[in-house]
């Protein structure tokens, strides 16, 4: 039987084949199982400019909140 691989990004089991790539509906990651290596490096956290974050870096987390009765955030 044809084995469907788990998602290399989130390790989810719900992947499906969509023509030429496998798709993970949990994290929306598209991948080709031939190009995924077994010893892939883990994702490195990055800031909004793409710079890698390291231990001790100061970050500010923001979240937009909707104003009730308005289309503004």
How many domains are contained in the chain? 1
Distance CA 27, CA 14 (A): 10
- Is the residue at 24 inside a domain? yes
| Torsional sign, CA 37, 2, 16, 22 | positive
- Is the residue at 42 inside a domain? no
CATH number of the domain bearing residue 3 = 2.20.25.10
Domain range holding 2? 1-37
- Is the residue at 59 inside a domain? no
- Is the residue at 45 inside a domain? no
- Is the residue at 26 inside a domain? yes
pLDDT digits (tens, 9 = 90+) for 45-54: 888 888 888 9
- Is the residue at 2 inside a domain? yes
- Is the residue at 47 inside a domain? no
pLDDT digits (tens, 9 = 90+) for 6-22: 888 888 889 999 888 99
Whole-model pTM? Answer: 0.46
DSSP per-residue codes, 8-54: TTT--S--EEETTEEE-TTT--EE-TTT--TTPPPPPPB-TTSPBP-
pLDDT at residue number 44:
82
């Amino acid at each position: 039987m044809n084995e469907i691989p788990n998602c290399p990004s989130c390790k989810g089991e719900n992947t499906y084949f969509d023509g030429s790539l496998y798709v993970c509906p949990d994290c929306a990651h598209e991948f080709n199982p031939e190009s995924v290596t077994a010893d892939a490096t883990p994702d490195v956290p990055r800031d909004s400019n793409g710079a890698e974050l390291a231990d001790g870096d100061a970050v500010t987390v923001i979240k937009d909140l909707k104003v009730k009765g308005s289309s503004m955030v």
